[in-house]
């Protein structure tokens, strides 16, 4: 906390005596006096809460942020401010984030931008500089939002949709991409179909690609050009002319650059490899970018709607008879304890209570392994958990997002539940209902203790 500026100051511990880590300052300013900072928070666990989410963090349920430091490798910037607005009045507030090479420099910059007019001047000056840059890149201002939408789709791609055509093919390996001169280290934007070298779509993507590079975002732009057998080179030459006109010929084949891949009738496997590897695929014959993105946002086809066959009503589910009583647990710490003999550990939580950290259990042999926590299933792997993951691993001890989920559905009323407390065993997710049941007052999860 930096009291003089009502802000949060972040710095990174130097890894070498000669290193000068960057410094970041976050603060709030207002157009008139009266802004008061009520609290700050840098602990992501305290801000979100266990199994919490950014849309509804646990910190919003408190009157003020507690101001903890927390685990410095997983921080957040939480700044809670209070401002009074008179009846029919108007107040303007801005949150300012500054990064610089030293504490002195970041404070000097912050002192220059302490009012809303100074912020307006900075924004106007930045807009002028960006306009000159866009003119140099040949990117029209009204097309910048399209470039931003494409980048969002590349950095956070939509989940893949399962199709009968793609079942069993799996995802491409990095070695397959290396054979095409693509590293696979960066998101891949694939452009294919049509007369690519004559289209304005390629020129727009080249300009957007340059803009992303200037912002430090590496993307591999792969142009998959088609042609009859023996006629790929003339098409490639025309594409090279487009790259020269755009001034990006030096990026051809570079890591995070532009890649030209010719496809003929005998290269079906190569085309499918690129389609599976791409984070986003555009087609010259697919219409405008807005149309193609809207089709990607459309709801996937689903099966027939499930219709319950009996009226909904309360369902009585008896408590499991094999579950031990709370009194029989040894070394009970309020969250759980060992059963008789110490062979099992029972996590017994009241509704709305979570463990402060994941209780992780690894089950593995030389060929296969899986990990589960007290919240639910995690992920599985074959031979090596880092190189051969079968299901996703999120590596987030705060949210503890499951990569594997087992759902149970009542075929009579269509309601669903999960066999584990998360995501729907204890608290139903949005748009999902649980089977009403009488419980013994706690959610139980059994786990083998770690060695």
327-383 per-position pLDDT tens digit: 788 888 888 888 877 788 888 877 778 888 888 889 999 999 999 988 888 899 999
What does the pLDDT read at residue 206? Answer: 92
- Measured CA to CA, the distance from residue 189 to residue 293 in angstroms comes to 13
Q: Is the pLDDT of residue 432 over 50?
A: no
CA neighbours closer than 13 Å in the CB half-sphere of residue 258? 26
Question: What value, to the nearest 5°, has the Cα angle with vertex 194 and ends 190 and 199?
Answer: 85
The token duo for 214 is: 């200037």
Higher pLDDT, 451 or 145: 145
The domain defined by 174-297 folds into Rossmann fold (3.40.50)
Q: Is the pLDDT of residue 73 over 90?
A: no
What does the pLDDT read at residue 323? Answer: 61
Provide the percentage of residues in the chain whose pLDDT is more than 90: 16
The three state secondary structure string of the chain is CEHHHCEEEEECCCCCCCCCCCEEEEEEEECCCCCEEEEEEEEHHHHHCCCCCCCCCHHHHCCCCCCCCCCCCCEEEEEEEECCCCCCCCCCEEEEEEEECCHHHHHHHHHHCCCHHHHHHHHHHHHHHHHHHHHHHCCCHHHHHHHHHHHHHHHCCCCCCCCCCCCCCCCCCHHHHHCCCCCCCCCEEEEECCCHHHCHHHHHHHHHHHHHHHCCCCCEEEEEEECCCCCHHHHHHHHHHHHHHHCCHHHECCCCCEEEEEECCCCHHHHHHHHHHCCEEEEHHHCCHHHHHHHHHCCCCCCCCCCCCCCCCCCCCCCCCCCCCHHHCECCCCCEEECCCCCCEEEEECCCCCCCCCCCEEEECCCEEEEECCCCEEEEEECCCCCCECCCCCCCCCCCCCCCCCEEECCCCCCEEECCHHHHHCCCCCCCCCCCCCCCCCEEEEECCCC
* Section 272-297 average pLDDT: 84
Residue 266: pLDDT band by 50, 70, 90 thresholds? low
What's the pLDDT tens digit per position in 101-114?
888 999 999 999 98
The token duo for 147 is: 């470039």
Question: What rounded mean pLDDT belongs to the chain?
Answer: 79
The token duo for 289 is: 């970018």
Higher pLDDT, 212 or 350: 212
C-beta of residue 277 within 8 angstroms of C-beta of residue 177: yes
* Section 40-63 average pLDDT: 85
Which regions of the chain carry the CATH code 3.40.50? 174-297
Q: Is the pLDDT of residue 413 over 70?
A: yes
Range of lowest pLDDT (167-171, 213-217, 435-439)? 435-439
pTM beyond cutoff 0.85 = no
Q: Please state the separation of Cα 183 from the chain's center in Å.
A: 22
* Section 230-242 average pLDDT: 74
């Amino acid at each position: 906390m930096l009291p003089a500026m009502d802000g949060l100051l972040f710095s990174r511990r130097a890894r070498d005596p000669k290193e000068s880590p960057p410094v970041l300052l976050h603060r709030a300013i207002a157009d008139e006096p009266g802004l008061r900072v009520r609290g700050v928070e840098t602990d992501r666990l305290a801000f979100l809460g266990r199994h919490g989410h950014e849309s509804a963090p646990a910190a919003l349920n408190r009157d003020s942020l507690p101001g903890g430091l927390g685990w410095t490798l997983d921080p957040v910037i939480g700044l809670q401010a209070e401002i009074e607005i008179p009846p029919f009045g108007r107040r303007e507030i801005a949150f300012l984030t500054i990064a610089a090479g030293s504490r002195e420099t970041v404070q000097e910059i912050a002192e220059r931008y302490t009012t809303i007019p100074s912020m307006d001047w900075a924004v106007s000056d930045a807009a002028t500089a960006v306009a000159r840059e866009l003119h140099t890149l040949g990117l029209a201002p009204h097309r910048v939002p399209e470039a931003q939408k494409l980048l969002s789709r590349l950095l956070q791609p939509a989940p893949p949709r399962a199709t009968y055509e793609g079942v069993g093919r799996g995802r491409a390996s990095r070695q397959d991409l290396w054979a095409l001169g693509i590293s696979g280290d960066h998101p891949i934007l694939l452009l294919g179909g049509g007369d690519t070298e004559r289209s304005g779509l390629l020129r727009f993507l080249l300009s957007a690609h340059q803009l992303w590079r200037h912002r430090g975002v590496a993307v591999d732009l792969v142009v998959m050009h088609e042609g009859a057998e023996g006629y790929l080179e003339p098409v490639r030459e025309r594409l090279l002319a487009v790259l020269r006109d755009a001034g990006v010929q030096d990026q051809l084949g570079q890591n995070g650059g532009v890649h030209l891949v010719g496809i003929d009738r005998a290269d079906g496997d190569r085309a499918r490899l690129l389609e599976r590897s791409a984070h986003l695929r555009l087609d010259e014959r697919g219409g405008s970018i807005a149309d193609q993105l809207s089709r990607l946002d459309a709801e996937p086809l689903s099966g027939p709607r499930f219709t319950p066959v009996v009226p909904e009503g309360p369902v009585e589910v008896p408590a499991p008879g094999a579950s031990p009583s709370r009194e029989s647990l040894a070394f009970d710490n309020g969250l759980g304890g060992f059963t008789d003999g110490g062979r099992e550990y029972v996590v017994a939580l009241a509704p709305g209570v979570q463990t402060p950290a994941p209780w992780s259990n690894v089950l593995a042999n030389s060929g296969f392994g899986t990990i589960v926590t007290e919240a639910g299933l995690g992920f599985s792997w074959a031979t090596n958990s880092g190189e051969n993951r079968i299901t996703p691993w999120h590596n987030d001890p705060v949210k503890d997002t499951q990569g594997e989920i087992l759902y149970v559905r009542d075929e009579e009323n269509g309601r669903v539940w999960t066999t584990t407390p998360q995501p729907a065993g204890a608290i139903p997710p949005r748009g999902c209902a649980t089977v009403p049941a009488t419980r013994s007052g706690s959610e139980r999860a059994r786990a083998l203790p770690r060695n």
